[in-house]
Amino acid sequence: MSSLRKQVAVIKVRKMEDGASERFNIARENIQRIIELALKEIATDPDCVGLRYSVGEQTTVYYIKTNQDNFGRVLGSGGRTINCLRHLVTAIAGRHGFRAILQVENEDQFY
């Protein structure tokens, strides 16, 4: 007699509190302001650095737009600067209960 194993899928559902969406939006805007301020201080030409974000189903992605001259400054030595900014974004987003990623737009064109 063969034994049949039941496979059970567990789906976790998190109920959003009232006003959570608004809190997420405020946190996203605050993250954008913080990163923009840091980028403008890092860049040699602050007008050539921009930031936008898109909200996905589970993740908010922040995109840094920069030119060739500021690309090296944004990345930093060994990627230290961009990694620091990524940790900051992740920490703030995690504190508010959502996931966020920081990417450089068209990064491959600079290599």
DSSP the chain: -PPPPP--------PPPTTHHHHHHHHHHHHHHHHHHHHHHHSSSGGG-EEEEEE-SSEEEEEEE--HHHHHHHH-GGGHHHHHHHHHHHHHHHHTT-EEEEEETTGGGG-
Res. 6: pLDDT tops 60: yes
Domain count, the chain: 1
Q: Is residue 4 part of a domain?
A: no
pLDDT in tens, 16-49: 566 678 899 999 999 999 999 999 999 999 899 9
50 within some domain: yes
The residue segments making up the domain with residue 54 are: 20-106
Q: Where residue 70 sits, what CATH number does that domain have?
A: 3.30.300.20
11 in any annotated domain: no
Q: What's the whole-model pTM score?
A: 0.77
